[in-house]
Structure 1
Amino acid sequence: MTRPNILWISTHDISPHLGAYAGVYPGAEYAITPNLDRLADEGMRFDHAFAAAPICAPSRSAIMTGCFPTATGTMHMRTKAVPPPEVRLFSEYFREAGYYVTNNSFTDFQVKTPPSAFDDCSATAHWRNRPDAKTPFFATFHGLITHESQIYLDDGAFAARTSHVRPVDRHDPATAPLPPYYPDTEVFRRSWARYSDLITEMDHWVGTILAELEEDGLAENTIVVFWSDHGPGMPRAKRWINDSGLREPLIMKWPGRIATGSVNPNVAHLMDLAPTMLQLCGLDIPPHMHAKPLLNPDGNIIDSPNTYAFAGLDRMGELEDMSRSARDSRYRYIRHYHPDRGPMQHCDYPDGLATWRELRQLASAEAGQRATGMQRTLLSPLQRRLVAPVKPREELFDLSEDPHETTNLAEDPACSAVLGRFRSAVDNWQATYGDLGFIPEDDLAEQWRPSGIQPVTAPPAVHMKDGAITAGSSTDGACVVWTADPPAPEGAGMATATRPRLAEETGAPPSDGRAWYILCEATPAPPDAALWFKASRLGYADSNEIHFAPIAAS
């Protein structure tokens, strides 16, 4: 059987505010998303998909490893973790199976992206660049169109950013379906409308990629997956461990296998995509993965792969906090380890955004009302919770009755049995997989990098036997890669120290112009060429390169 191709299309910072989720997720009917609606009509909509964290890098690390960030050390935003040796970016398994694997081009996986991860990780990465049209591909496109930063652009820049949104499709701020935890102000209405315009612009971008797939005659044998990483870039969404920060759109299409117009009602982690893709392509699922496949190899739904979806919130920039959450098909439970800290602590970057400023200014104005002996009138009690100096130790919400999580049931005696069940679920999750959030981050970093020194992968020992090249590193969990491209002359190219800071923080691979291949059956090293080998392991520095030149090539 010909293995299917895979096309992933991801975006940033949205909840299921797509037309396809109208009637399923509150406010989704406001969205204008014809391409994604069509994708859902032609495939499967997942109604209960959740991120592992309400912020980018921890969430994406879970998706790319199939492991909980709290167990692998990738839970702080941003960090450079040293995961256990068995943990790999799962794209490597596809390269070893002979897939052409590309990433265009965002990373942010909480580790430096190793040379073994992708055939091409760049702004030009595309399945069309594979050397042989018969080679199956796994191509990922990451769009930044809906990133929170875009909501708050000046008018000219926003108009340019949303140039494909027709005037008739512009979202009217007056009809914006603001959640009740937001004050009904011009700032919030304008921001919600802009957020929705950006989703429509992103939908256009999705359509261009799907059109390319059709043009190339590849749509019938390609699994298409659309997902986002966490909730919108506004208060009580991104950076909050509520449903509004964790519930995500997830749509999957596989012609002839996944039934058209189907709905998957099961609880799903976004990180379940890793084993799901492996299973659909007939590849083994590594036993260390915490995630579970969502579909059978034939594309049919696996019944109840998860009882709960778990998530964690930890350091975000300079904001220090720790919360854990579990969600089943009805309830969300949240445990805050620092209830003495407010839910909207100072954090330099989001504090510069208009919606955050608006909330703080309204809270300040209410303090002024108090100063003159007046009653507070600018925020509702629900909205004041966002800027409160403290938060509850536990929260429990019934999403079937209360989709905006307005009523905390944790102290309701009628819900004591549900509360106890969720307490046990979180306790068992932490006991089963471990929770490195309990270790102070500086102590964790010292364990990983004693005295600040990054461990280095041992260089591979390269051998020729019976006309085949083999190599191995003594570092547990190391992967050996090779290239026929010689290194650039010393001093040439962009030095690591001069790379943009964001590229360093997100772990983007260096642009050295060299094509690295995993030494494996799918990409054996040619025995008659001069080659360079090195070994890499997540969290470690790459080894020194070994130049191997067979006699015939010297």
Structure 2
Amino acid sequence: MQNPFTPNQKYARLSLMVVMVLLIETFSYTLFAQQKNTADRPNIIWITSEDNSKHYLRLFDENGVATPNIERLAAQGVVFDHAFSNAPVCSVARSTLITGAYAPRIGAQYHRKIHTVPMPEGLEMFPAYLREAGYYTANNSKEDYNLNKSDKVWDESSGKASYKNREKGQPFFYVHNFGVSHEGQLHFDQAKMEATSLNSLPPAGELQPNHPQTPLFRYTRAYYLDRIQEMDRQIGELLDELEAEGLLENSIVFYFGDHGGVLPGSKGYLFETGLHVPLVVHIPKKYQSMSSWNPGQRTAEFVSFVDFAPTVLQLAGVSIPGQMDGRPFLNTGKAYEEDHSFGYADRFDEKYDLVRSLRKGKYKYIRNFMPFNFDGLYNQYRYKQLAYQEWLTMFTNGELTDIQAQFFAPKGAEMLYDVEQDPFETHNLAEDPAYQKELKALRGMLNDWMLSMPDLSLYPEFYLIQEAFTAPVAFGQAHQKEIASYLNTANLMLEDFGEVRQQISKALEDKDPWRRYWALVVATSFGKEAVDIAPRIQRSMIRDPERVNRLRAAQFLAIASGRNPAENFQSELYATSDPTEALLILNMLVQLLDGGYVMDCPIDLDNMVQQVLSVSDVADRISYINSK
């Protein structure tokens, strides 16, 4: 039979076969090399418990309860006495954990998310890099990210996700979340409280000095300690399962709380009770070389959630992307040293604020950018807790001590605490002449950090959604100069009013609307002290092109000179079609109502733009305002 192929066709066919063989051999070699490379890598397990600071575990605080299963992990691991979430609420904390990036830099700082943001260019959520390196990644099951997630991140992420579904011999990264300690556990009613004997709960221990020393607060703390013990029991079941499968000897296990909480004034606030979390890292014998510390050791070095992603990647032998802000604290090849951690708090559900913190050594510095937003400002979810309700009632009735009443009073623009001497941050040292050196050093360090990101929260959230959230990091880099000017303006509130009066007045005339915005916030922070510029701010209330600026001016006039701004707020609310702008406006109004500056300001739902009411936080705020 005649050969159907010409010599050139035969050569081409042979070449194609050779290429195919080479590709198959290359793929097989790569797969073999990857399997060989991953075979010696540790499994990495994250065990997280929701809403608990270190204050409830005896391993970290003598006023806490025994947690024998977590202590069992510590026997072959490292106890971190200074571990911190960078945010005191879940979605922002978890967005930091999954990216290794500071949330105010990447636009993930608002809880609950109204608008998710894209990952920074060139950065994936870190489990994607583990998958690429041959790891099986499983999450059971909470995500709660304020970012867009790709399908590269998890092999499984659900209530049924498990490390057991990996290929034979494949290393894994597994997250198991325990919700039994979540804030919602404390939303019990009076009937449940009366049906549960206090004798059946762990001893409440000492109450915080800023809390009312009442039976309800004692019961609430005792009940929460019971939830901590149940959480530890559930962790024990997981550890028993891992041990029975022979996995503990091949796995580095992290246990940590996902942020602080959950008694009043903790979750949602940048106090130690909101940020300082328990952290234990179990390191089996075969991986001891990956630790800077010995088994059973405690360390006073500081670690933050922003450091967790790069730490896991380094343990897995994976390169750390340059877009991550944290640094690894295990397997560093040298002694790890760190003495500080940054924190951030913005919107929580319908409650707005702008607070930044720096813990350095024994000192805690808190910067309140809107100090008139007192901590006890109403938040619907928080005030489901009976203890919150009692605290507010006692304040209204004048039954609190000065320390206990601080929660419902305007704050200092700066707060400084020696947390070794004052662990619950009740005595502000910011105006003490003996601590001015420490105050100025921490102020400068915090300012430098905010500028280095830069911190996007110096713009209002609704403007970021409109202009920045398609590419938040790029927007921040392109507007560094403007953000620096806003920070400089905001910091005028740290000076004597007489010395900065002219600078405030000049900023009120600036062509940049957000510099005017910050000038109005600064004036409001001075309150009655700034009443002599009220005529100028009266003009802002009438003429400023920005709706929120007109209402910031109205807020100032109510606080500084007693002018009733109810009609201004009603008309501006009825005019806006932006739910996020409406939410900020409503927050200003609630501050005036709760602060006693306005007695009544009913909102007519029929006059509201319907798309504004579609956001549940807006509806919650209006419901509260109309109940006043």
Bin of the TM-score, shorter chain as denominator length: 0.7 to 0.9
Secondary structure of the 2:336 match is coil
C-alpha contact (below 8 Å) 1:276/1:293 kept by paired residues = yes
Q: Does 1:228 align with 2:249?
A: no
1:262-277 to 2 correspondences below 5 Å: 262-277=297-312
Aligned to 1:120: 156
* Superposition deviation, residue 21 in structure 1: 2.9
Q: How does 1:439-478 map to 2 (within 5 A)?
A: 439-448=459-468
1:447 to partner: Cα distance: 2.1
How much does 1:111 deviate? Answer: 2.0
Q: CA deviation at 1:83?
A: 3.8
Partner of 2:428: 408
Give the count of matched residue pairs: 424
- Residues 1:382 and 2:403 are matched in the alignment: yes
Q: Taking structure 1 as reference, are residues 16 and 433 closer, same or farther at Cα in structure 2, changes over 3 Å only?
A: same
Matched, 1:170 2:170: no
| Identity across matched positions, percent | 35
Q: Which residue identity lines up with residue 336 of structure 1 in the other structure?
A: N
Aligned to 1:484: none
CA contact (8 A) 1:65 1:274 kept: yes
Amino acid at match of 1:234: L
Separation in structure 2 between the aligned mates of residue 90 and residue 346 of structure 1, nearest angstrom: 36
- CA gap of 1:383–1:225, structure 2 versus 1, over 3 A, is same
Find 2:243's aligned residue among 184, 191, 214.
214
Name the CA distance, whole Å, in 2 between partners of 1:46 and 1:159.
38
Q: Does 1:103 align with 2:139?
A: yes
Equivalent of 1:288, from 323, 326, 332?
323
Structure 2 Cα separation of the partners of residues 204 and 245 of structure 1: 24
Q: Deviations over 1:80-108 (max 9, x none)?
A: 12342223211111001110000001011
Structure 2 matches for 1:296-375, cutoff 5 A? Answer: 296=331, 302-304=335-337, 306-366=338-398
In structure 2, the residue matched to 1:10 is 48
Does structure 1 retain, via aligned residues, the 8 Å contact 2:187–2:384?
A: no
Distance 2:128 2:194 in 1: 40
The aligned residue for residue 146 of structure 1 is 181
Structure 1 or 2: more helix by fraction: 2
Counterpart of 1:127, as a letter, is: Y
Letter in 2 for 1:331: Y
After superposition, the Cα gap between the structure-2 partners of 1:46 and 1:193, relative to the gap in structure 1 and judged at 3 Å, is: same
**Which of the two has higher C-alpha Rg?**
2
- For the residue of structure 1 that corresponds to 2:83, the secondary structure is strand
1:106-160 Cα distance to aligned partner (Å, 9 max, x none): 0111124321110000111111111x22000001011111001112335998999
| Cα separation, partners in 2 of 1:449 and 1:42, compared to 1, 3 Å | closer
Instruction: Output the CA distance in 1 between the equivalents of 2:346 and 2:387.
Output: 22
- For normalisation by structure 2, the TM-score amounts to 0.65
Distance 1:284 1:431 in 2: 27
Give 1:509-548 correspondences, 5 Å limit.
none
TM-score, normalising length: structure 1: 0.73
Per-residue deviation, residues 301-342 of structure 1 (Å, max 9, x unmatched): 7422x4420111101111111011001121100000001121
Q: 1:137 to 1:168 in 2, by over 3 A?
A: farther
Q: Distance in 2 between matches of 1:159 and 1:223?
A: 43
The corresponding residue for 2:482 is: none
TM-superposed deviation, 1:178: 0.8
* Structure 2 stretches lacking a partner, 5+ long: 1-36, 471-628
For 2:42 and 2:406, the matched residues in 1 are separated by 48
Q: Deviation string for 1:356-393 (max 9, x for gaps)? A: 10111111222xxxxxxxxxxx21111000112x1111
- How far apart are the structure 2 equivalents of 1:115 and 1:447? 27
Structure 1 residue 293 displacement after superposition: 0.7
Which secondary structure state, in structure 2, belongs to the residue aligned with residue 57 of structure 1?
Answer: helix
Paired with 2:81 and 2:424, the residues of 1 have a C-alpha distance of 16
Quick one: structure 1 residues 159 and 143, their matched pair in 2 at CA, closer, same or farther if it must change by over 3 Å?
A: farther
Q: Whose RCO is larger (CA < 8 A, sep 6+)?
A: 1
Cα gap change, 1:449 to 1:45, in 2 (>3 Å)? closer
Measured after TM superposition, the shift of residue 428 of structure 1 is: 0.8
**What's the CA shift string for 1:411-445, capped at 9, x where partnerless?**
11111110011011111101111101111111111
Distance between the aligned counterparts of 1:449 and 1:284, measured in 2?
Answer: 28
| Aligned position for 1:516 | none
Partner secondary structure for residue 348 of structure 1: coil
CA distance in 2, matches of 1:147, 1:423: 33
Which runs of no fewer than 5 residues in structure 1 stay unpaired?
367-377, 451-554
Distance 1:157 1:137, change over 3 A: farther
Q: CA RMSD in A?
A: 2.3
CA 156–102 in structure 1, closer or farther in 2 if over 3 Å, else same:
farther
Q: Contact 1:11–1:227 (CA<8 Å) still a contact in 2?
A: yes
SS in 1 for 2:154: coil
1:60 aligns with 2:98: no
Query: Match of 1:355, as an amino acid?
Result: A
Shift of 1:271: 2.2
Distance across 2 between alignment mates of 1:37 and 1:294: 21
Q: Aligned equivalents of 1:318 and 1:340: distance in 2?
A: 17
Name which of 104, 110, 131 aligns with 1:70: 104
Q: Deviations over 1:44-75 (max 9, x none)?
A: 00011111111111111101100001111111
The offset of 1:346, in angstroms, is: 1.1
Residue 278 (structure 2) aligned to one of 226, 244, 249? 249
Deviation per CA, 1:181-212: give whole Å up to 9, x if none: 11011111111001100000000111111111
Change (3 A) 1:227 1:319: same
Q: Which residue of 2 aligns with 1:432?
A: 452
- Matches of 1:204 and 1:402 in 2, distance apart? 32
- Return the alpha-carbon distance in structure 2 between the equivalents of residues 140 and 270 of structure 1: 15
Residue 135 to residue 437, structure 1, CA distance change in 2 (3 Å): same
Is this contact kept in 2: 1:14–1:229, CA < 8 A? yes
What is the SS of the residue equivalent to 1:17?
helix
C-alpha separation between the residues in 2 aligned to 1:21 and 1:136? 30
**Are the equivalent residues in 1 in contact too, given 2:198–2:219 (CA < 8 A)?**
no
Deviations 1:23-50 (A, max 9, x none): xx3xx44312110112112210001111
The answer to whether 1:395 aligns with 2:415 is yes
Letter in 2 for 1:133: K
